[in-house]
């Protein structure tokens, strides 16, 4: 394997794929892609499987990027999607459709929470976060401060980028800690709860009646798959309720089953003011929904939160087809069963290989921490050779394991077996 012009990956024995890699690298800015050591060229996809142009079959342990929760070409999903989208225009910027009403109604009902009253559509996760933050700013025009949890990823654009990471060019952003539990087998540190509350109360005392909102996510995916203790989200939710701070939960990655329940919101007994759902909501169709309090989302007048591709008929059709599929098949039960297999298997790998150090996760979103960035990249390549597709390393040395939620426990065990053989090659 070599690199041409520093970013055009070439893999020996993949003549057809190498042609595509070369052409794409010359025609499309590399800034458009997230780096992965394999740059897999997909020819077709079905279920949990991907095929490259050379006909190699690979198990998908990435789900796009936590998008294809129902796998690829799911027969029932595709049937329902075609049913809902039949005859509709591709865009509904200046028209209304019944499919949008049904999608909004059923999505709200799926939460079964009193604060989930209205929807504001977006076309990507960062846009959804921005719109949620706009709503909080409009609701509290006299409060200028934004609280965010350190090391989150909410997007690269505008306000979403301002609350990503642990520093911001926005002078109105302040940070609190997100508990970095290093391994799923570690016992939660209860003293952290006191520390978090101290941070929140200190900020409130320093900036009385100036904090408009708090933005966080159920787990730190991009930072390296850090999942907090059970008390954490409920603690900051309660603090926000007590002090009339708008609590915005970024469920772009976690919604629609990824954590083992339909929403992390309900899994952890939360009542956010606004929840942003993306990725799995449309099983690959680009649609995002900000769901929450009507008094927040109704602060916008016509056109103030619109954009060309928000709430398209096909996006709404995909949302309905996704909900139909979850209601018809035991997707969540399967996720929990397969997730237990993945957890057990990954923990065994850390026992067997000294350079595989830690495991973090829940449901079917896991992180395997390796000793170094170099080993993580080697493992992605070695897994590829074993017929297992992974996203490039997170935060340098953490591999995300996030197969479609339809993967069977037997297939999950086979995937761990492929990882074991890959680790043996290193």
Last residue of a domain, one of 270, 304, 328: 328
Does residue 2 carry a pLDDT above 60?
A: no
For residues 286 and 334, state if they share a domain. no
Q: Under a CB-based contact definition with an 8 Å cutoff, are residues 232 and 179 in contact?
A: yes
For residues 289 and 380, state if they share a domain. no
Report which of residues 94 and 350 the model is more confident about: 350
The domain spanning residue 111 has which CATH number? 3.40.640.10
57: three-class secondary structure by DSSP: strand
For residues 291 and 393, state if they share a domain. no
pLDDT, tens digit (0-9, with 9 covering 90-100), for 279-316: 999 999 999 999 999 999 999 999 999 999 999 999 99
Tell me the C-alpha distance between 224 and 367, whole Å: 7
For residues 56 and 96, state if they share a domain. no
For residues 175 and 283, state if they share a domain. yes
- Ranges of beta strands (E only) in 73-159 are 118-122, 145-149
Q: How confident is the model at residue 363 (pLDDT cuts 50, 70, 90)?
A: very high
Q: Under a CB-based contact definition with an 8 Å cutoff, are residues 132 and 346 in contact?
A: no
DSSP per residue, 166-190: S--S-TTEEEE-------TTSPP-T
pLDDT, tens digit (0-9, with 9 covering 90-100), for 332-345: 999 999 999 999 99
For residues 318 and 180, state if they share a domain. yes
Residue 7, phi then psi, degrees to nearest 5: -135, 0
For residues 365 and 295, state if they share a domain. no
Classify each residue of 276-292 as buried b or exposed e, where b means 16 or more C-beta atoms within 10 Å of its C-beta.
Answer: bbbbbbbbbbbbbbbbb
Q: What is the pTM of this model?
A: 0.96
Tell me the C-alpha distance between 334 and 315, whole Å: 25
127 CB-near residues (< 8 Å, 6+ apart)? 155, 157, 160, 288, 307, 310
At 399 the pLDDT is: 96
pLDDT, tens digit (0-9, with 9 covering 90-100), for 94-114: 999 999 999 999 999 999 999
Average pLDDT of the residues in 324-339: 98
At 1 the pLDDT is: 47
For residues 358 and 334, state if they share a domain. yes
> Does residue 91 form part of some domain?
yes
> Does residue 10 form part of some domain?
no
User: How many C-beta atoms surround the C-beta of residue 177 within 10 A?
Assistant: 15
> Does residue 14 form part of some domain?
no
At 6 the pLDDT is: 52
> Does residue 374 form part of some domain?
yes
For residues 316 and 411, state if they share a domain. no
Does residue 32 carry a pLDDT above 80?
A: yes
> Does residue 188 form part of some domain?
yes
> Does residue 71 form part of some domain?
no
Kindly give the pairing relationship between strand 118-122 and strand 288-292. antiparallel
Please identify which residue in the block is written with the tokens 């609280």: 147
Q: Which domain holds residue 213?
A: 76-328
Q: Under a CB-based contact definition with an 8 Å cutoff, are residues 212 and 245 in contact?
A: yes
Q: Under a CB-based contact definition with an 8 Å cutoff, are residues 200 and 176 in contact?
A: yes
For residues 151 and 258, state if they share a domain. yes
At 188 the pLDDT is: 75
Last residue of a domain, one of 284, 302, 328: 328
For residues 225 and 120, state if they share a domain. yes
**Listed residue (128, 123, 97) closest to 285, CA to CA:** 123
Does residue 159 carry a pLDDT above 70?
A: yes
> Does residue 2 form part of some domain?
no
What is the percent of the chain with per-residue pLDDT over 70, rounded to a whole number?
98
For residues 120 and 230, state if they share a domain. yes
Q: Tokens at residue 242, please?
A: 């007590």
The domain spanning residue 416 has which CATH number? 3.90.1150.10
At 3 the pLDDT is: 47
Does residue 249 carry a pLDDT above 50?
A: yes
At 395 the pLDDT is: 85
Average pLDDT of the residues in 158-180: 97
Last residue of a domain, one of 300, 328, 356: 328
Q: How confident is the model at residue 8 (pLDDT cuts 50, 70, 90)?
A: confident
At 126 the pLDDT is: 97
Length of the chain: 426
At 199 the pLDDT is: 97
Average pLDDT of the residues in 191-209: 95
Q: How confident is the model at residue 9 (pLDDT cuts 50, 70, 90)?
A: confident
> Does residue 151 form part of some domain?
yes
Question: How many separate domains does the chain show?
Answer: 2
What does the mean pLDDT of the chain come to? 95
Does residue 5 carry a pLDDT above 60?
A: no
């Amino acid at each position: 394997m070599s690199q041409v012009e520093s970013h055009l990956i070439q893999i020996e024995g993949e003549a057809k794929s190498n042609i595509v890699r070369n052409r794409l690298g010359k025609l499309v800015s590399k800034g458009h892609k997230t780096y992965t050591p394999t740059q897999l060229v997909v020819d077709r996809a079905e279920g949990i499987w991907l095929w490259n142009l050379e006909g190699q079959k690979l198990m998908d342990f990435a789900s796009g990027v936590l998008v294809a929760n129902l796998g690829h070409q799911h027969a029932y999903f595709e049937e329902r999607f075609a049913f809902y989208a039949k005859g509709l225009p591709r865009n509904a910027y200046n028209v209304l459709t019944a499919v949008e009403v049904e999608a909004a109604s059923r999505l709200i009902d799926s939460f079964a929470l009193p604060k989930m009253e209205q929807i504001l559509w977006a076309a990507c996760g960062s846009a959804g976060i921005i719109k949620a933050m706009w709503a909080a700013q409009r609701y509290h025009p006299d409060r200028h401060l934004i609280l965010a949890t350190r090391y989150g990823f909410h997007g690269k654009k505008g306000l979403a980028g301002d609350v990503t990471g642990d520093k911001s060019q926005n002078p109105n952003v302040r940070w609190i800690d997100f508990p970095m539990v290093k391994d799923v087998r570690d016992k939660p540190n209860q003293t952290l709860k006191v520390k978090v509350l101290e941070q929140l109360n200190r900020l409130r005392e320093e900036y009385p009646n100036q904090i408009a909102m708090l933005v966080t996510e159920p787990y730190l995916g991009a930072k390296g798959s850090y999942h907090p203790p059970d008390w954490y989200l409920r603690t900051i939710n309660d603090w926000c309720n007590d002090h009339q701070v708008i609590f915005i939960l970024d469920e772009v990655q976690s919604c629609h089953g990824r954590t083992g329940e339909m929403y992390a919101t309900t899994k952890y007994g939360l009542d956010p003011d606004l929840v942003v759902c993306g990725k799995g909501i449309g099983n690959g169709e680009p649609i995002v929904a900000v769901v929450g309090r009507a008094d927040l989302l109704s602060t916008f007048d016509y056109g103030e939160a619109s954009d060309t591709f928000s709430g398209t008929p096909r996006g709404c059709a995909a949302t309905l087809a996704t909900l139909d599929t979850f209601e018809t098949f035991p997707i969540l039960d399967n996720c929990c069963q397969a997730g237990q297999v993945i957890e057990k298997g990954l923990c065994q790998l850390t026992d067997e290989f000294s350079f595989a150090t830690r495991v973090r996760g829940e449901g079917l979103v896991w992180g395997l921490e390796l000793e170094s960035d170099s080993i993580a990249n080697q493992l992605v390549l070695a897994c590829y050779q074993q017929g297992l597709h992974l996203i490039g390393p997170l935060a340098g040395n953490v591999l995300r394991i996030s197969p479609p939620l339809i993967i069977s426990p037997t297939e999950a065990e086979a995937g761990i077996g492929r990882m074991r053989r890959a680790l043996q090659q290193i």
